[in-house]
Structure 1
Amino acid sequence: MIELLISIAFCLSSALTVLILLLPSQYDPATKDKPSVQILVLGDIGRSPRMQYHALSIAKHGGKVVIIGYTESDPHPDIVSHPNIAIVPLRPHPAILQTSNKLLFTIYGPLKVLFQVTYLWKCLAYTAPPSRWLLVQNPPSIPTLAIASLSCFLRQTRLVIDWHNFGYSILALKLGQDHPLVKLSIWYEKTFCKSTSAHLCVTDAMGSVLKKDFKLQAPILPLHDRPASHFHPINNPDERTKFLNTLPETESVRSSLTAGTLRILVSSTSWTPDEDFSVLIDALLQYSELATANPNLPEVLAIITGKGPQKEMYTRQIAALEAAGRLQKVTIRTAWLSVPDYARLLASASLGVSLHTSSSGVDLPMKVVDMFGAGLPVVGWNRFEAWPELVTEGVNGMGFGSSIELTDRLTELFGDNKKLETLRVGAQKESTRRWDDEWDPIVGKLLGLT
């Protein structure tokens, strides 16, 4: 293992030495234009709502934005149409380098990093024009932080890291906390995050960890996620029903929907190990049994949105349960919706579910923020430190820590409309807290835009 790491380090240093010889052009600090910003997402831009919101806010205030990232799905329509925003796509790594096998991961992982280093450097230092600021999404940390730090040094660009979570804590889910690559990742992340002008983070709890454990000197600015303007409540029940009837996912239950004997449950997931979808399946199985015996409990249509590696496995499991007749009072459908339709679905649903468990304990799921933006009450996994920063128990949502507790929440809320409506009122109150209200005095001020 040590020899492998040394070889990787040698390859990286050799590649970067060659690239540095072709020095990129620098940003001219004397320019009088509005600040220009590069936004780096080593992931799918379309599935990175927070970074898209950054871009839209910068552009709205007259700044020029270049987003660097993968273009696997459609970004927000306003990103594509805005004259101040440009996208520089990253080339995906070869599919063969993607594996869930732990042994192969230790071999393919470094090769994937080498591939990413080459194209990331090309896009960041040469394809994209020089900018005053570089805003980097973290995680992933490897190789993002090292390449971003070097590019900023050579181009006289100010680096800002937007901490969504910690890269090493996500890697530990795959390899285990004591794995050598996890320990290397901890060192890497703590080392390459120091050459920054500022740090943004999604929770106060994460800010405390950055200050205490990472010992950062640059300003640490908590920036809580808030919904964008296209998420808003729909207060007219008839309008909600009318929209739901247009969705193909509701076709088999439209009679119950029209009769008012159906509840719509929505969950958005990335279908990854940090969101254990089996918790929801088990809860829906238990709910179906209880609803079969109790006529006061309504039918449930669960619409699950999102893409990810474990989706096919779970859809096969759901199909098997339906074929076995174990979901008599529950219908489960998966969907991939446009941004406007997803916003309308949240505003039209009865209840949102978050399965995010947090690898670090100090990050929060953006999906809950979007649900609140649409005035949708939420039940979510609450066994982590930062949960109370997002949800006020019994006011705009409720927490659970097992499938049994989730079943209890579903039966409690779907069996009592008054309790569900109380939470909806709380969620609609939460919906008044918007992204611009949070962003302008923090990031806008930092970037010199407000």
Structure 2
Amino acid sequence: MAIAVVVLIFVLASGLKGRDELAHLNVCVLVLGDIGRSPRIQYHALSLSRHGYNVTLIGFLGTKPHQDIIEDDRIDILPISELKGLTVGPRIFRYASKVIFQSFQLFYVLMKIEDQGYILMQNPPGLPAIAVTWVASRLRGNQFIIDWHNYGYTIMALTHGENHFIVKLAKWYEKLFGRFSDHNLCVTNAMREDLRKNWNIEATTLYDKPPPIFRETPLKLQHELFIRMGSTYLPFRPSLDVTKEYMELTAFTEHNTQTGAVTRSAGRPALLISSTSWTEDEDFSVLLQALEEYEKFVEAGHKLPSLVCVITGKGPQKEYYKKLIDSKEFHHIKICTPWLEAEDYPVLLGSADLGVCLHKSSSGLDLPMKVVDMFGCCLPVCAIHFQCLHELVKHEENGLIFKDSKELSEQLKLLFSDFPGDQGKLGIFRKNLRESGQQRWDENWDHNVLPLIKEHCD
């Protein structure tokens, strides 16, 4: 194996041409994951393109990327295969085979692409991407930047436990090769301090910020989305006993086909939304238990609206939770679990009444991007507590923080007690978000990343 690696490096390196004078205008943006489910990586690519850089975007092509990525002439998507490794044998050998296959594939791709000024890589996933990218960047003379979203070993620890051999090995690997990068970005000040103190890595904090597509959705666009959603998902359809002449109806809106006017339906349900990757760091039983308590509040006579709860996303635990959801017998709550096109997701967020976030962070050092997007749409949030959440969610200002299902159920009762009025806490939180003058992605990126690129890479 070692001989094969040496031979491959020699063959590829010997074929390299002299450094291209315009290489500094070429950028490789890399994620060893699904490009379509990696919004921050897509935003990096669009920002680089906006400033005149030619971008090679490398990753798995499982989910359709945003249309802006597809239509951008400066962005070239280079898909790589999501290799599974062996399907038989002990788990450790199957995992090792996957890492080896991905290492060879990624190294080959990085050595054969057009000369690049630098490589910007998302971590996690970083095994084997950090080591392979570092080797390729040294051979080709690229600057190597890691964008730290979290620590990969902490995600592995959710499944295996922090004392498992493979978790300890992953931590050693991540710590060692993470120090070999030329520059580093990270998502919170807490992570920046941890990288500096415990990893001897200096990083620039680049908070996730919403791009302009995340905004409050005009009522007409809301209605159009609800009509489309209603063709597939029952909770978006009007009640069967409701019919009105010259009116196109959804569960939330009414469209007068003669005048063209769109209004909100009287007695409409509240639209609750949560987004998830259906992984171990989000326990959706917390939300389901809170909804059960909410149902009891309604049946006990509290003046509360019915709920439509939309949980978007894909991931390994989705089928497990879908079965759990199907086992519930709600009378005042409807739940659906769609996967939305990239263009529809911000429209739905901008149409919702309240967001719920169950992301707890395996490291306690990253922040949920879904909340950033919700705030971009001026959508108040109830979020589960973890270490550095205060860097994003301000309790009693732009949302509420809860610790368990009981607290969440009480918060739902409190926030929807005035629904659909806008004078209660829910309306105040939305007003605060509208008036906050929150920074957007482009401004944030231009301030924190562009100077680094121009200083070190141009």
How far 1:109 moved relative to its partner? Answer: 1.2
Structure 1 residues 448, 232: closer, same or farther in 2, change over 3 A?
same
The aligned residue for residue 51 of structure 1 is 41
For residue 63 of structure 1, the aligned residue among 53, 56, 62 is: 53
SS in 2 for 1:266: strand
Asked whether 1:342 is paired with 2:345, we answer yes
Structure 1 residues 176, 431: closer, same or farther in 2, change over 3 A?
farther
Asked whether 1:20 is paired with 2:5, we answer no
The aligned residue for residue 99 of structure 2 is 113
| Residue pair 2:23, 2:116 contacting (<8 A) in 1 also | no
The aligned residue for residue 74 of structure 2 is 84
| Residue pair 2:85, 2:97 contacting (<8 A) in 1 also | no
How far 1:125 moved relative to its partner? Answer: 1.6
Structure 1 residues 245, 395: closer, same or farther in 2, change over 3 A?
farther
Asked whether 1:437 is paired with 2:443, we answer yes
How far 1:424 moved relative to its partner? Answer: 1.1
Distance 1:429 1:106 in 2: 52
Matches within 5 A, 1:39-438: 39-94=29-84, 97=87, 104-126=90-112, 128-216=113-201, 219-234=202-217, 240-241=222-223, 243-248=225-230, 249=233, 250-251=236-237, 254-255=250-251, 258-321=265-328, 326-382=329-385, 384-417=386-419, 418-430=424-436, 432-438=438-444
How far 1:442 moved relative to its partner? Answer: 1.4
How far 1:94 moved relative to its partner? Answer: 3.1
How far 1:393 moved relative to its partner? Answer: 1.0
Please identify runs of 4+ aligned residues in structure 1 that moved more than 4 A. Answer: 25-30, 95-98, 236-239
Distance 1:392 1:293 in 2: 32
Structure 1 residues 433, 256: closer, same or farther in 2, change over 3 A?
closer
SS in 2 for 1:124: helix
Distance 1:192 1:277 in 2: 34
Comparing both structures, which one devotes a greater share of its residues to helix? 1
**Percent identity over paired residues:** 40
Distance 1:256 1:31 in 2: 57
SS in 1 for 2:29: strand
How far 1:97 moved relative to its partner? Answer: 4.7
Distance 2:23 2:119 in 1: 16
Distance 1:71 1:268 in 2: 21
- Runs of 5+ in structure 1 lacking a partner? 1-10
| Residue pair 1:362, 1:385 contacting (<8 A) in 2 also | yes
The aligned residue for residue 7 of structure 1 is none
Structure 1 residues 425, 185: closer, same or farther in 2, change over 3 A?
same
Distance 2:433 2:227 in 1: 24
1:168-225 CA-to-partner distances (Å, cap 9, x unmatched) read: 1111111101111111111101110122221000000000000000012xx4100000
Distance 1:270 1:373 in 2: 20
SS in 1 for 2:359: coil
Distance 1:297 1:104 in 2: 53
Amino acid at match of 1:331: K
How far 1:294 moved relative to its partner? Answer: 2.2
Amino acid at match of 1:271: W
| Residue pair 2:188, 2:367 contacting (<8 A) in 1 also | yes
How far 1:239 moved relative to its partner? Answer: 5.4
CA RMSD of aligned residues (A): 2.1
Distance 2:17 2:43 in 1: 24
| Residue pair 2:269, 2:307 contacting (<8 A) in 1 also | yes
How far 1:64 moved relative to its partner? Answer: 0.7
Amino acid at match of 2:405: S
Distance 1:26 1:157 in 2: 13
Distance 2:269 2:437 in 1: 25
| Residue pair 1:137, 1:161 contacting (<8 A) in 2 also | yes
How far 1:104 moved relative to its partner? Answer: 4.4
SS in 1 for 2:111: helix
Amino acid at match of 1:72: G
- Runs of 5+ in structure 2 lacking a partner? 240-249, 254-264
Structure 1 residues 109, 413: closer, same or farther in 2, change over 3 A?
same
Structure 1 residues 430, 346: closer, same or farther in 2, change over 3 A?
farther
| Residue pair 1:373, 1:431 contacting (<8 A) in 2 also | no
| Residue pair 2:24, 2:116 contacting (<8 A) in 1 also | no
Distance 1:15 1:443 in 2: 38
| Residue pair 1:374, 1:431 contacting (<8 A) in 2 also | no
Distance 2:85 2:332 in 1: 40
Deviates more, 1:64-73 or 1:285-294: 285-294
Structure 1 residues 190, 318: closer, same or farther in 2, change over 3 A?
same
| Residue pair 2:85, 2:94 contacting (<8 A) in 1 also | no
Amino acid at match of 1:82: D
